[in-house]
Structure 1
């Protein structure tokens, strides 16, 4: 795990330096430390770390959770939160960003090491499980049973406009798209495609998957 780049986001300089030394002692590669949410967003864009240790309470307009939301929407990077607070409201906000860990200060070396290693392994496993839509699924043909109402339930109730996917229904077709950089949307898109591929095998309808800019798109005829 020594090759992965770790970014520390901590506004207490002494704590940041102490954490950096502790991680280096454990064999991790800490490439940058920043003290604000704004600097975290900038550093991720410029340096592309493999994992972020994000303090939740930061000075400035962006706290750690707000900064994490921005980073997750633009980049696919695992984040572990660091905090001295564990109130219900903070935890609820943090959970909505799908973190890979949540560590309470002060940190024990064993907990730090275990959380970082598990986060990196989990993230790598998730990446390997994703299909490469550009290379493998540029033009996929499958079938949908037009009499089965489950597809409407899947698309419109669980994965509709209010969810992580964008859904557009015209007079003839249904279009679904997801940003590849949005991990949640990408995962749901993959799940939806699997459901379509596995459930609807007796119809003349065609499903097409293709890339459009930063999005993966799925289209098929309207029922």
Structure 2
């Protein structure tokens, strides 16, 4: 087994990404370890059983879990993921040689970041891990920026010019995504917030605010016009995403 290191779980700037390999085929596991090390990652360890992986994650918190779906023993990979997710939110990448639809659907329930099909090659491994690492960094940046926002029952405080300024929720017209930022619009001012639209969606009260498009959240009480493919608030025309339309219509009926 490889050297065991202790990690905090979060990914600090310039820190090596630490990956725990849980694979009962030692030839595959050793090959993975060599490939990951050559790509600049740190291998936290190689474990053949799900039970051992659970203990390891509790004690050491690696950044990523590279987990074989079809582990032998009392716990398969999916069972192991579920057990770990009860106490730790850790990104999971499944290793699988099984194309069975039922197994794939069960695995999806654990919300893995990716799947790597065996036999794998170095390029697919490299690209998959790089994409997952990028997702981790984006998620952590989003969670850190929520410190600039404080949402109370009827108001929101946003950091502006070094201080927290109050905005009443009833004054917000809509919020528009701008990459990893979003713009909060009232009738008088605009605020650029250093967080994603997803973060705002999670923090604002769902009784008043609803996502209507991948780039827009609206204050439903400010809705002026509802058309087939768009809505209007003031003079702003906002598109309605197909996946959001049904929820929007149901909410309007209850208002």
TM-score range, shorter chain: 0.5 to 0.7
**Structure having greater relative contact order (Cα 8 Å, sep ≥ 6):** 1
Query: How far is the alpha carbon of 1:127 from its aligned partner?
Result: 2.5
TM-score computed with the length of structure 2 as normaliser: 0.56
**In 1, Cα distance between equivalents of 2:127 and 2:110:** 21
Shift, 1:22, TM fit: 1.6
Which residue of structure 2 aligns with residue 22 of structure 1? Answer: 35
The 5-angstrom pairing of residues 116-195 of structure 1 reads 116-130=129-143, 136-137=149-150, 139=152, 141-142=154-155, 191-194=201-204, 195=206
Cα 1:135–1:67 change in 2 (3 A) is farther
Query: Are residues 124 and 73 of structure 1, via their aligned partners in 2, closer, same or farther at CA, if it must alter by over 3 Å?
Result: farther
Match of 1:52 in 2: 65
| Superposed counterparts of 1:26-105, under 5 Å | 26-105=39-118
2:16–2:40 Cα contact (<8 Å) kept: no
Report if aligned partners of 2:21, 2:46 keep a CA contact under 8 Å in 1. Answer: yes
User: Could you say what the CA RMSD is over the residues aligned between the two structures, in angstroms?
Assistant: 2.9
Task: State which of 216, 219, 230 in structure 2 corresponds to 1:199.
Answer: 219
Query: Deviation of residue 14 (structure 1)?
Result: 2.0
Q: Deviations over 1:65-90 (max 9, x none)?
A: 11112222321211100011111001
Q: Report the Cα offset of residue 192 of structure 1.
A: 4.3
Q: Which has the larger radius of gyration?
A: 2
For the residue of structure 2 that corresponds to 1:97, the secondary structure is coil
Match of 2:24 in 1: 11
1:140 & 1:124 partners in 2: Cα distance?
30
Distance in 1, Cα, partners of 2:153 & 2:114: 36
Which segments of 5 or more consecutive residues in structure 2 lack a partner in the other structure? 1-13, 156-167, 171-197, 210-217, 223-254
Aligned residue in 1 for 2:190: none
Q: Which runs of 5+ in 1 are unaligned?
A: 146-187, 203-222
8 Å contact from structure 1 (residues 144, 200) kept in 2: no
Length, aligned pairs only: 162
User: Which structure has greater strand proportion?
Assistant: 2
